[in-house]
Chains A and B, each alone.
Chain A
Amino acid sequence: MKKKKKKAHSSAAVNSKLLRRPIRRFGWLFLLPMAISFLIGFIWPFLQGLFLSFCKFRTTKKWTFVGIDNYLRILDDEQFLYSFIYTAIWTIVSVVLINVIAFAVAYALTQGIKGTNFFRTVFFMPNLIGGIVLGYIWSMIFDGILSYYNTNILEKTEFGFWGLIILMCWQQVGYMMIIYVAGLQAVPEDMIEAAKIDGASGWKTLTRITIPNVMPSITICTFLSLTNGFKLYDQNLALTEGLPGVLDKATGLNTYTTEMIALNISKTFGQSGAFSKGEAQAKAVIFFILVATIGLLQLTSTRKKEVQQ
């Protein structure tokens, strides 16, 4: 009954002539500023970028069409392929760690212990600090620790890999925790009580009752940390900048072993070769398709959840 009423209401919103006509006359004021800046800041650069990925160019005005050459060039770009795999592995590890830790913290904080709100404040705080500053802070800390062993974070790939994992956990756990806490609080308490009365152990209650009930939160957090991982740029730049570089003596190629996709694309844009800008733009298109697919999957899955509620 209630639902029907709502439906009638929303269709009325579309049809209210009383509002629609006068508002329309003010379209230039309400929609135009937004439409124009959207055109400048997004639509035009996006379409231009899409087109230029098929061109050889140095500036946006001087270009020659080369077809899919730029995309073929990427296949020979070992650094890009390396960065792609490195990013994928790094992202999987970070998604698992961030979500497991965040869920554990959220679970503990909803058990009614003392000082919960204080802990929440503390854990969320790193989210407000920008990626560049975070990278700088942690490179100081890691260098401080590693200096006892006469080395530093730029010496080994493993240092850069795990360093970035620690940094991102520190930053993101608080954020994901907030989402998990909201999900955990929505789990009906009588369900858990019923399970306890039926003699379920704490572990069984967690895996059979709690986790299935917070599935929507788990979906959101997984997708969020997934896109965050793939798009990571600032922290990567500030912590290691892709270093250390490893020289392959047979081919003479220098591979930056902690360089992730986003950083690789930005660096390629900065190179001076005749084809590098076109290649960078083509990489960006591939990157965009990858991220957009994950993002749209997330949007539709959260939408579905809204409908169910």
Chain B
Amino acid sequence: MAKTVKKVKAPKGKPKKLWLTILFGLVSVFYMAPIFLVALNSFKKNTFVKTQTFALPNAESWAGFENFKTGMTLGGTFWKSVFYSLVITVLSTFLIIIVTSMAAWYISRVNSFFCKFIYFACVFSMVIPFQMVQFTLARTADTLKLNTPWTIPIIYLGFGAGLAVFMFTGFVKSIPLEIEEAAAIDGCGPLRTYFKVVFPMLMPTVISVSILELMWVWNDYLLPYLVLDRTKGYMTIPIHIQYLKGSYGTVDLGATMALIFMSIIPIIIFYLTCQKHIIKGVAAGAVKG
């Protein structure tokens, strides 16, 4: 999959097809339109979002930053949801990377019956739809007090480990054994061998897995919705936005668009800055169904 990121180069000597460029240029504009529409409508007064969705804000419909102000307190404090989303995403990704890469190394180096069992269970867990465990997982999380933003990463580690273990094991197998043996002969224990020798070599996969997990956890809706204890006000951004829509009829569309706009901007900036890694990481995870 390394080829995926290779820049698409024009074969030499072929005539450049200008009409295709123009066509795709137009399509691109349409492709970006939804994002612009969100930005546009977040500055309109609520009643105008539905009636003048595609018009530029005029003197009558212009709401200034009013939507952003009201959105902050709509359906709970928005910053709190942003904060919890960040906590859950960062902690989960960090935990998944450390724990699964260690386990993957152990699995491929020891290769006992138990290791094989764990590995196949991991591969199996990749094809399980969430609905299969949604009820029992939520109850288990409740019983074990894993229903706060600080402890839910353990659930993510359990349920999301499959893909990470699968990818890490694949990579560890390609690392020549002689390097680790040399480290062992020089007196490195397993811990130092792992953290000083193996983990740095895993870096490309670490980046790919991080990106996949970041995107999954950040956008996930159903798992945190069922697991998090909402009586204590724990919400993530997707839950917050869906919660607004739940109160049908009275929903303030302008303010909602402002919230969506605010939650998309960081994603787009993140995408534009690490685009290369993101596309590579996502393509590497194509094995997951």
Contact = CB atoms under 8 A, between A and B. Distances in A.
A175 B106 CA distance: 33
Chain B contact residues (Cβ within 8 angstroms of A): what range? 35 or more
B93 to A, nearest CB: 14
A227 to B, nearest CB: 4
A88 interface: no
Contacts of A39: 158
Interface string B237-278: 110011001000000010011001001100110111001001
A34 B165 contact: yes
Contacts of B272: 121
Interface in A3-55: 9-10, 12-14, 16, 18-20, 22-27, 29-31, 33-35, 37-46, 48-49, 52
B135 A27 contact: no
B161 A38 contact: yes
Interface in B90-115: 99-100, 102-103, 105-111, 114-115
Of B127, B159, B194, the most chain A CB neighbours within 10 A belong to B127
B260 A136 contact: yes
B99 A287 contact: no
B80 interface: no
Nearest to B140: A45
A285 to B, nearest CB: 7
Given A31-B115, A266-B134, A22 B127 contact: no
Given A269-B135, A287-B132, A13 B177 contact: yes
A220 interface: yes
A108 B24 contact: yes
Interface in B154-195: 154-159, 161-162, 165, 173, 176-177, 180-181, 184-185, 189-191, 193-194
A259 to B, nearest CB: 13
Interface string B124-153: 111111111111110110001010000000
Contact of B289 (A24, A111, A223): A223
Contacts of A128: 215, 219, 267-268, 270-271, 278
Interface string A40-83: 11111110110010000001100000000000000000000000
A40 B158 contact: yes
Given A42-B159, A112-B10, A262 B268 contact: no
Contacts of A119: 24, 28
Given A178-B282, A265-B131, A147 B28 contact: no
Nearest to B128: A288
Contact of B28 (A24, A122, A141): A122
Contacts of B134: 266, 269, 284
Contact of B155 (A40, A111, A130): A40
Contact of A133 (B16, B162, B238, B287): B238
A16 B185 CA distance: 12
Of A140, A143, A277, A298, the most chain B CB neighbours within 10 A belong to A140
B86 interface: no
Contacts of B161: 34, 37-38, 41-42
Contact of B135 (A41, A49, A112, A127): A49
B209 to A, nearest CB: 14
Chain A contact residues (Cβ within 8 angstroms of B): what range? 35 or more
A179 interface: yes
Nearest to B38: A137
A115 B24 contact: yes
Contacts of A138: 34
Contacts of B253: 140
Contacts of B191: 26, 29
A34 to B, nearest CB: 4
A224 interface: yes
A73 B1 CA distance: 46
A40 B154 contact: yes
Given A115-B24, A233-B130, A284-B129, 20 more contacts: A10-B173, A13-B109, A13-B173, A19-B190, A24-B110, A40-B154, A45-B136, A52-B135, A60-B140, A111-B20, A119-B24, A126-B34, A128-B278, A133-B238, A140-B41, A145-B53, A175-B282, A220-B286, A234-B222, A269-B134
By Cβ-Cβ distance, the 9 closest A-B pairs, closest first, are A41-B158, A144-B53, A130-B219, A295-B127, A112-B10, A34-B103, A227-B289, A30-B106, A295-B289
Interface of B: 1, 3-4, 6-11, 14, 16-18, 20-21, 24-25, 28, 31-32, 34-35, 37-38, 41, 49-51, 53-54, 99-100, 102-103, 105-111, 114-115, 118, 121-137, 139-140, 144, 146, 154-159, 161-162, 165, 173, 176-177, 180-181, 184-185, 189-191, 193-194, 215, 218-222, 237-238, 241-242, 245, 253, 256-257, 260, 263-264, 267-268, 270-272, 275, 278-279, 282-283, 286-287, 289
